[in-house]
Chains A and B, each alone.
Chain A
């Protein structure tokens, strides 16, 4: 009898334990959330989207050699162009090589890691967000779509930077959530990626919001206008001027943006404070320990900063009125400190030679502002028959706002409106002044050089020849007669890790 009881109890205990086995052995992380528990409600969806934005203003945690995205955007958009010098105490060798247009696959300045990291975050949102609507009935389809529009646009922006910088790059549209998702991708042609970008932007445009109800979100998150701004640049990059004009007109007709007055408060309004009425999309740093922009160590010359303004920025690019000391281009002092050449836009202070400190450099990195929409449109008009005067009028708006100084020896004369090339060059010249050190110049030069290659390539080589070191000048000029040289090489480590990647053609 006792035996029976023992046997039964053993049996029951065994049953109990064996049935609890499944849960007992599955261990979930105690300090994190797993995917199956996430993606349940719209609050989680929102935090996932904010996580995407947050990846734009932070370097990758624990990834050595990685930099903040604004740092990459500055390097790739400015170093090889004609406004930066590094004749300073101890410049980084790789930086000097890039400034000299002398880049190998081993240059630490060509890593695209951060961009794919953000792309993966966008892909994750795009894959899992649509499931939320089934578990959270308070999430409307329209809300969901606007979140998706944000992810689509940020992803498109990342890919656009990558194709502008590297040419053909791997295109990944699915998230990497498990080891099984790891793929060794080959490169996708630039044209295919641009088509994908435009498709995504058209989808995003349908559902992106006009406003989030507050200025900070309107300037720091993707709105319909940010989508249009990106569209305008992509179309311009494809030399599709009609569509560029359409995209620009959408923003201009919205009545939501205007040029900030070019007075003594201009520096403060547009750069120091950020989120100006002119701004369309910017990376917002708030100054907390994780949200300081990368510019202090880059530009503070007295603590070993690497980059300063070329000597001809003050005085030649921005001529001075020799008869009237108070008649100045408002952008000149913002571009660079006249004495030390420090890039005031990012670490200087208005009307002073003072430099921001390491903990106070949280100036926003501006991706698009209204002035650029006007100049995008001007550029598109330049090459649209019969619209030359419209282009010049738009340039005039920008010039008048900044109180540009015309110097008969140094400034470009106002061109004949019917001469498309001359008008285009005139726009390029004004873009250089308006967006100096905003990570645009190199891409502008390349866009001009490639438009009617090889006839227009001398625009690029002439600009670079002025500042190139004497020992490299002729090499540089011959080099940039090859359009493949406009693209950076793929970082050597990426090629080691992914045998399907082929190095870009110039870098054999």
Chain B
């Protein structure tokens, strides 16, 4: 009886189990999404849309680019759509991708691929993209407005139809024309442009044509060298009264002097002054305030952006503002196999000056000058600024301030103003190392003086011009002692001079005044350009360091004259 009951119970349980198992299995299975990156790689993306990219895909397969664009990496690819490729094939008289020789096709495809960099349109600038293509040449970017719609344009050849497509191994942009690399070098570009006939002949006469008529890889003297050339059209020469290359040569060359590779010839130097040994599109030109040319004297071309105009050689030298020549943007940024060609809408030439002294008021910084309610107004102090300023940079920490002394203040500075370094000394969060960009200094040899006010205790300093150390290390800047009766030449022999009308006074057996010029050493300025004056602190004495001015005086000139730099800004003997 019991067993029967147990049996029936068992059956019941089994039935129940079976039933419930039926229910359980009939439950809907939850599908959890697999969290993997399902972005296609570049090759797959292009292959996946044969209606758009079949021809470029064929090119990639034929040139084996398809393989590496399917693999791990970081690429930027410009993908011409089928219409673009068809247009290109038609222009070359081909009907199929297979009609192109493999070599040239590989170069063409490589010109569309940038390796090891993903460049989204965020990084498209007015010039070359930051990384060259696998072909070796750079691509340029820009924006054009075609009938009301603005689009990015690559190389001035192709509009971007679809940008920033993220793929597993990089980023691609769809373009409406095939990109074609430059086929001519700079020399050929100039030769083939009839508007540059005078400039072309000038290149030939000076031998620079041969310098520019060489592929970078084959350059015997400078392997891999790329050039930037500022060419001038015939109409520019006409506008300054030069109708022929003979007239141009006559203007710069002395009679009887041969300009052909003659470093002493003015014409050779003039033409060389239009060539920079660098691959600089206009934005690269603007990224530095000056560029060395290829002339034997390494003469410098300066540049500045005025609103929308790029001015070359717009220089302020010894207080005289020289007009510059503007760059013709439309005719510039023309890529060549060995660099880039620009056009200047005026004449650029080497300005020759004898070395000339520079009295450089350190307090005259653009940040302070624009505060016209403070700048050079007695008793005003500006807010101290952190690094970097426009013309001053220093190790992080510390600030540079500006003070124009009150009228009744017992200090004597040129223009009555100073910069205050808070604090110049070793140690963390202080100004250990400070670099000033000088005004333009004409090339030559100069003695350099720092004029400042001594204070109780300051660090010593080593000064550098363009990273060349100056001979004198300035001892702890408070230690200026001299005999009150010392004459100027005696003081100078000790590396000291007085430059203001500050009266001499006596304290603790030492005779001094508060404001001195200290001799830093001789600097050999090799280019007519703005240079870097750098001071590195030695020692940890703490005080606000107040600097007034720096003088660059040609080494063979009188170092003590003019004697007085007055508080009202006048300079007299």
Q: Write the residues of chain A forming the contact surface with B, with a CB cutoff of 8 angstroms.
A: 97, 102, 104, 301-302, 311, 314-315, 320, 322, 325, 328, 337-340, 353, 454, 465-466, 470-485, 506, 508
Q: Are A339 and B308 in contact (CB under 8 A)?
A: no
Please list 17 pairs of residues, one from A and one from B, whose beta carbons are closer than 8 Å in the complex, sorted by A's number. Answer: A104-B120, A104-B164, A315-B371, A315-B372, A325-B377, A339-B367, A339-B383, A340-B385, A465-B308, A473-B126, A473-B305, A474-B329, A475-B124, A479-B143, A480-B150, A481-B148, A506-B150
Point out the residue from B149, B163, B384 that lies within 8 Å of A484, measured CB to CB. B149
A337 to B370, CA, bound (A): 12
Q: Are B164 and A470 in contact (CB under 8 A)?
A: no
Closest 9 CB pairs of A and B: A339-B383, A482-B150, A481-B145, A478-B143, A470-B286, A471-B125, A471-B283, A315-B370, A474-B126
Using a Cβ–Cβ cut-off of 8 Å, how many residues does chain B contribute to the interface with A?
38
Q: Which residues of chain A are near B367, meaning CB under 8 Å?
A: 339
Point out the residue from A302, A314, A328, A478 that lies within 8 Å of B371, measured CB to CB. A314
Q: Which residues of chain B are near A339, meaning CB under 8 Å?
A: 367, 371, 382-385
Q: Are A478 and B144 in contact (CB under 8 A)?
A: yes
Q: In angstroms, how far is the closest chain B Cβ from the Cβ of A308?
A: 11
Cβ of B204 under 8 Å from chain A = no
Q: Are A338 and B145 in contact (CB under 8 A)?
A: no
Q: In angstroms, how far is the closest chain A Cβ from the Cβ of B52?
A: 14
Q: Which residues of chain A are near B150, meaning CB under 8 Å?
A: 478-482, 484-485, 506
Q: A302-B386, A320-B373, A478-B150 are in contact. List 11 more A-B contacts (CB 8 A).
A: A104-B121, A340-B385, A470-B126, A470-B283, A470-B287, A471-B286, A473-B126, A474-B308, A476-B143, A478-B143, A482-B148
Q: In angstroms, how far is the closest chain B Cβ from the Cβ of A306?
A: 15
Q: Are A325 and B163 in contact (CB under 8 A)?
A: no
Q: In angstroms, how far is the closest chain B Cβ from the Cβ of A406?
A: 15
Q: Which residues of chain A are near B121, meaning CB under 8 Å?
A: 102, 104
A102 to B150, CA, bound (A): 13
Q: Which of A337, A472, A483 has the most CB of B within 10 A?
A: A472
A480 to B121, CA, bound (A): 16
A500 to B305, CA, bound (A): 45
Closest B residue by C-beta to A342: B383
Point out the residue from B141, B144, B305, B383 that lies within 8 Å of A340, measured CB to CB. B383
Residues facing A in B373-394 (CB within 8 A) are 373-374, 377, 382-386
Q: Which of B122, B144, B161, B305 has the most CB of A within 10 A?
A: B122
Q: Are B126 and A482 in contact (CB under 8 A)?
A: no
A508 to B175, CA, bound (A): 12
A102 to B141, CA, bound (A): 14
Closest B residue by C-beta to A480: B150
Cβ of B132 under 8 Å from chain A = no
Q: Which residues of chain A are near B263, meaning CB under 8 Å?
A: none
Main secondary structure of the interface of A (DSSP, over half): loop
Cβ of B324 under 8 Å from chain A = no
Cβ of B142 under 8 Å from chain A = yes
Closest B residue by C-beta to A107: B122
Main secondary structure of the interface of B (DSSP, over half): mixed
Interface mask (B8-52 → A, CB under 8 Å = 1, otherwise 0): 000000000000000000000000000000000000000000000
Q: Which of A475, A478, A484, A485 has the most CB of B within 10 A?
A: A475
Interface mask (B118-137 → A, CB under 8 Å = 1, otherwise 0): 00111011110000000000
Known A-B contacts A102-B122, A471-B287, A479-B143; A320 and B372 likewise in contact (beta carbons under 8 Å) = yes
Interface mask (B304-340 → A, CB under 8 Å = 1, otherwise 0): 0101100000000000000000000100000000000
Q: Which of A470, A472, A481, A484 has the most CB of B within 10 A?
A: A470
Known A-B contacts A481-B150, A482-B148, A508-B161; A338 and B374 likewise in contact (beta carbons under 8 Å) = yes
Cβ of B162 under 8 Å from chain A = yes
A483 to B370, CA, bound (A): 35
Residues facing A in B86-129 (CB within 8 A) are 120-122, 124-127
Point out the residue from B145, B305, B370 that lies within 8 Å of A470, measured CB to CB. B305
A337 to B143, CA, bound (A): 36
Q: Which residues of chain A are near B161, meaning CB under 8 Å?
A: 508
Q: Which of B163, B374, B383 has the most CB of A within 10 A?
A: B383
Q: Which residues of chain A are near B122, meaning CB under 8 Å?
A: 97, 102, 104
Q: Which of B150, B372, B374, B385 has the most CB of A within 10 A?
A: B150
A480 to B143, CA, bound (A): 10
Q: Which residues of chain B are near A325, meaning CB under 8 Å?
A: 373, 377
Closest A residue by C-beta to B125: A471
Known A-B contacts A339-B384, A475-B142, A478-B142; A328 and B127 likewise in contact (beta carbons under 8 Å) = no
A340 to B121, CA, bound (A): 32
A315 to B377, CA, bound (A): 15
Q: In angstroms, how far is the closest chain A Cβ from the Cβ of B179?
A: 18
Closest A residue by C-beta to B383: A339
Q: Which residues of chain B are near A476, meaning CB under 8 Å?
A: 143
Q: Which residues of chain A are near B164, meaning CB under 8 Å?
A: 104
Closest A residue by C-beta to B126: A474
Q: Which residues of chain B are near A337, meaning CB under 8 Å?
A: 383
Known A-B contacts A325-B377, A471-B127; A478 and B145 likewise in contact (beta carbons under 8 Å) = yes
Q: In angstroms, how far is the closest chain A Cβ from the Cβ of B148?
A: 6
Q: Are A466 and B307 in contact (CB under 8 A)?
A: yes
Q: In angstroms, how far is the closest chain A Cβ from the Cβ of B150?
A: 3
Q: Which residues of chain A are near B125, meaning CB under 8 Å?
A: 471-472, 475
Q: In angstroms, how far is the closest chain B Cβ from the Cβ of A88?
A: 9
Q: Which residues of chain B are near A353, meaning CB under 8 Å?
A: 383
Q: In angstroms, how far is the closest chain B Cβ from the Cβ of A409?
A: 12
Residues facing A in B333-379 (CB within 8 A) are 367, 370-374, 377
A322 to B373, CA, bound (A): 7
Closest A residue by C-beta to B385: A339
Closest A residue by C-beta to B166: A106
Q: Which of A302, A454, A474, A481 has the most CB of B within 10 A?
A: A474
A480 to B144, CA, bound (A): 10
A476 to B142, CA, bound (A): 9
Q: Which residues of chain B are near A104, meaning CB under 8 Å?
A: 120-122, 164
A303 to B429, CA, bound (A): 15
Closest A residue by C-beta to B286: A470
Closest B residue by C-beta to A102: B122
Closest A residue by C-beta to B303: A470
A479 to B384, CA, bound (A): 38
Q: Which residues of chain B are near A508, meaning CB under 8 Å?
A: 161-163
Q: Are B124 and A482 in contact (CB under 8 A)?
A: no
A481 to B151, CA, bound (A): 10
Residues facing A in B140-160 (CB within 8 A) are 141-145, 148-150
Q: Which residues of chain A are near B382, meaning CB under 8 Å?
A: 338-339
Closest A residue by C-beta to B329: A474
Q: Which residues of chain A are near B141, meaning CB under 8 Å?
A: 475
Q: In angstroms, how far is the closest chain B Cβ from the Cβ of A504?
A: 13
A207 to B386, CA, bound (A): 55
Q: Are B370 and A311 in contact (CB under 8 A)?
A: yes
Q: In angstroms, how far is the closest chain A Cβ from the Cβ of B311?
A: 12
Q: Which residues of chain B are near A471, meaning CB under 8 Å?
A: 125-127, 283, 286-287
Q: Which residues of chain A are near B163, meaning CB under 8 Å?
A: 508
Q: In angstroms, how far is the closest chain A Cβ from the Cβ of B268?
A: 32
Closest A residue by C-beta to B163: A508
Q: In angstroms, how far is the closest chain A Cβ from the Cβ of B203?
A: 29
Q: Which residues of chain B are near A315, meaning CB under 8 Å?
A: 370-372
Q: In angstroms, how far is the closest chain B Cβ from the Cβ of A475?
A: 5
Known A-B contacts A104-B121, A481-B145, A506-B150; A314 and B370 likewise in contact (beta carbons under 8 Å) = yes
Point out the residue from B148, B308, B372 that lies within 8 Å of A477, measured CB to CB. B308
A477 to B142, CA, bound (A): 10
A337 to B124, CA, bound (A): 33
Q: In angstroms, how far is the closest chain A Cβ from the Cβ of B225?
A: 24
A475 to B382, CA, bound (A): 37
Q: In angstroms, how far is the closest chain A Cβ from the Cβ of B182?
A: 21
Q: Which residues of chain B are near A472, meaning CB under 8 Å?
A: 125-126
